[in-house]
Amino acid sequence: MKDDQAAQWFGLCTDWLSQTFGEFASDADVILNEEIDEYSIDVQLGVLWKNQECKRTVLTVLPVLADSTQLQDAWGVPLRTIIEFGEGLLSEDAVNQLNQHLIAIPVSNKEL
């Protein structure tokens, strides 16, 4: 089951933080762990987004991410964490199916 209101949680949270504490600069770039053996929901969103097939797969199931203004803020966060914080975004079965689809995508940067 997908709850469109729950899908808005990330933007609402970051907006609230900005309004409450103000904007703050981050002098640290997101560090992506690109040395992976397989794609999965446990891989950082930024790593998944670098592979067009992974990106398409995720957006098919979570189209709300396409319109997120805070998407780049979540680059260093594993997809599983994003899904868990957005309670109601996906059912457990949908999460498992998404994970299996991602695992089936070959990792192209893997050295042989």
Angle at 49 between CA 33 and CA 59, to 5 degrees: 135
The DSSP-derived string for 23-87 is -----SPPPP----SS--TTSBHHHHHHSHHHHHHHHHH-GGGGG-TTGGGGTTSBHHHHHHHST
Q: Is 14 exposed, middle or buried (0-12, 13-18, 19+ CB in 10 A)?
A: middle
33-88 pLDDT per residue, tens: 778 999 999 999 999 999 999 999 999 999 988 888 778 888 888 999 989 987 77
CA distance 75 to 98: 18
pLDDT score for 111: 39
Q: pLDDT at residue 29 above 80?
A: no
Mean pLDDT of the chain: 83
Take residue 77 and report the two structure tokens written for it.
């966060």
Instruction: For the chain, give every domain's residue range.
Output: 45-104
pLDDT-derived band at 16 (thresholds 50, 70, 90) equals confident
